[in-house]
Amino acid sequence: MDLIDRFRLDGKVVLITGASSGLGVGFARAAASVGASLVLAARREDRLDAVAAEIRDRGTKVLTHRTDVSAQEQCEEVAQAAAAEYGRIDVLVNNAGVGPSGSALREDPAVFRSTVDINLNGVYWMSRACVPHMPHGSSIVNVASVLGSVASRFPQAAYSASKAGVLGLTRDLAQQWSLRRGVRVNALCPGYFDSEITNGRGSDALRTLVSENSILERFGEQGELDTALLFLASPASSYMTGSSLVVDGGLSAIV
């Protein structure tokens, strides 16, 4: 296999959660651009259908499925639908997530539970549901966060705890499945990127924080994360498992 071909996903089936908005849309476009067929899962069907229609117009086969990853039975349903349509799942991108912020003493306990249910438990349920349909040589990419490893300057207990949990889960699933099943499991740890979550309320203060506390002094752009995702998803990273790839503009390098 030529070097550049190791980054391609021709003939592969890629399932992406949280694919109706934000980074998930970019991931779907990126996977399609290197030859993958797609399964796109998210809670908002109207937005999911719009993303799918755009990608189908470029000649890519796309299956959509309304999915709440915090519900185990819905994770099993989308995995079964993908297997019924394509016969297998080659890459799972556990991207679905929420990012609430607020003081730990004032945060609604229900918000904390919901965040963990989606960001951490959802990764577990989806991985469990998909791995029986994944052949040897497949890859799981868990989208964690740099805040799973370093402290946020803003109060984000639920988000930080859930993403730290994803890193631990990634290591353990890699240990269980890499040799036994031939399924590599790695984590992608973004810093701050332009997305719906980061462009909302408080975004000016957040941009100032990133500018003052990272080496590159700016937010990342979607394409700068897409390439990292394709690396972990493709044979280009065939000797990586149980690892965490940080893409944060040097935010975590500054103490």
The predicted pLDDT at position 85 comes to 98
Domain count, the chain: 1
Which runs of consecutive H residues, i.e. helices, occur in 34-138? 45-56, 72-86, 109-116, 122-130
**CATH code of the domain in which 93 resides:** 3.40.50.720
Q: Which domain holds residue 61?
A: 4-236
Most confident of 98-112, 113-127, 197-211: 113-127
Residues 53-63: tens digit of each pLDDT = 999 999 999 99
- pLDDT at residue 6 is higher than 70: yes
Task: Specify if 197 maps to a domain.
Answer: yes
Spell out a b/e string for 212-224, using b for 16 or more CB atoms within 10 Å of the CB, else e. Answer: eebeeeebbebee
Rounded mean pLDDT of 184-204?
81
Look at the alpha carbons of 171, 177, 133, 31 in this order and tell me if their dihedral is positive or negative.
positive
Residue 39 belongs to some domain of the structure: yes
Active site positions, annotated: 159
Distance of alpha carbon 212 from alpha carbon 100, whole angstroms = 22
What pLDDT is recorded for position 199? 65
Using an 8 Å Cβ cutoff, are 8 and 29 in contact? Answer: no
Q: Flag whether 64 is in a domain.
A: yes
Domain assignment present for 157: yes
247 belongs to a structural domain: no
- pLDDT at 177 exceeding the cut of 70: yes
Q: Is residue 255 part of a domain?
A: no
- Whether 254 maps to a domain, the answer reads no
Query: Looking at the domain assignment, is residue 124 inside a domain?
Result: yes
Mean pLDDT over all residues of the chain? Answer: 94
Write down the pLDDT at residue 11: 96
Q: What is the pTM of this model?
A: 0.95
